Structure formats: structure tokens, C-alpha cells
Amino acid sequence: MERKVFRSDSHSRNCFGEEYPKSDQIQIILLLLFLAAWSLDSFLLKASTYPARLLPLYLRLIVSVVLIFTGLLFVKRSHNLVIDEVYARPTLIDADVYDLVRHPMYLGILLVYLGLSSSTLSMISLGLWAGIFMIYNKMAAYEERDLIRIFGREYEDYMRRVPRWFPRLF
């Protein structure tokens, strides 16, 4: 999903550079696994939701809504820049959310997962989130190698300016 850093008039998928192998399938499996584990633990088993007793529901929901909203905003804005725009030649996109982090679509997805986890404070889903983060990090690193191949020095400079995951405040 994140690989689509440029788009050409051909609209063919191969103009986007190389995605991590089976990226879409991996992401669907991770989503289903996460939702199953989070739902079961949060609402049925309640095996690891004991930290939720420490924070009132309204605080957890505020944090959850902010994380989910922010995540969806990152996904939408990056999708608009990469999928909806048409470029005559391969173009490095480094504006808008791509000026904050190098993988805003992946970050948005991770923030939605984290928002769901924070709503119930399921330790199982938080542990699963950490594993999912490592998988997304591996996918991002793989895809960045291809972007260096495509854009060379321009992407290396972008990597030095813009962090992979955590936006710089200053």
C-alpha cells in the first residue's frame, strides 16, 4: 500500500515501485488477527483488560477517538496524494503528511490499531500491536530500498529530513 510514492498516466501498478511481497495479503491477515484478538479480549474473555480499571472510560475514549481520527486523517491524506493524483513521471512526494513522516499510510493504520487498543486497554491487543508495528517497520524498510533505487540521492536526502515513524516537533 505505502509503495505508491508516484503515479504515472499509465495507471499500471508496476509504475509505483516495488511493494513488500504479498503486502496487501499480510495487511488483511494482520487486520483480521488484530480485530479478532482485540474483540475477544475486550468484550468476551477480558483476560488482559485489568488496566482499564485504572482509567475512567471517558479518558480512554478521548484518547481512542483522537488516535483513530488522526490515523484515518493520515491514511486519507496520503491516499489522496498518492492514489488520486496523476503525475507525468515518477515524482517523489514530500509534501503534506509526507513532510511529517515517510510512511503516513502505514502510520495511520497503526494509529487506528492503537486507538482501538487504548479504548479497552487490552494488554493482548497492545502486545499484538507491537508485533504488527515490527512487521510494518520491516515492510517500510524493504520499500525504502526500492525508493532509493528509483529516486537515488533525492530519496536519501528525504530520509535524512523526514523520520520514518515519529514526526519531529521542531
Q: Which residue has the higher pLDDT, 14 or 151?
A: 151
Reading the block at residue 55, the C-alpha cell is: 482509567
Residue 120 has pLDDT above 80, yes or no: yes
Distance separating alpha carbons of residues 20 and 3, to the nearest angstrom = 8
Closest by CA position to 149, among listed 85, 95, 92, 93: 92
The cell numbers describing 6, all together, are 508516484
- Separation CA 104–CA 96 (nearest Å): 10
| H or E element in which residue 36 lies | helix 23-39
Determine phi and psi for 162, rounding to 5 degrees: -120, 125
**What is the pLDDT averaged over residues 135-148?**
96
Q: Measuring CA to CA, which residue among 109, 115, 110 is closest to residue 62?
A: 115
Question: Chain-wide mean pLDDT for the chain?
Answer: 89
Q: What is the pLDDT of residues 33-66, one digit of tens each?
A: 999 999 999 999 999 999 999 999 999 999 999 9
Is residue 3 predicted with pLDDT exceeding 50?
no
Asked if residue 1 has pLDDT above 80, the reply is no
For residues 86 and 97, the model is more confident at 97
Q: Does the pTM of the predicted model rise above 0.85? A: yes
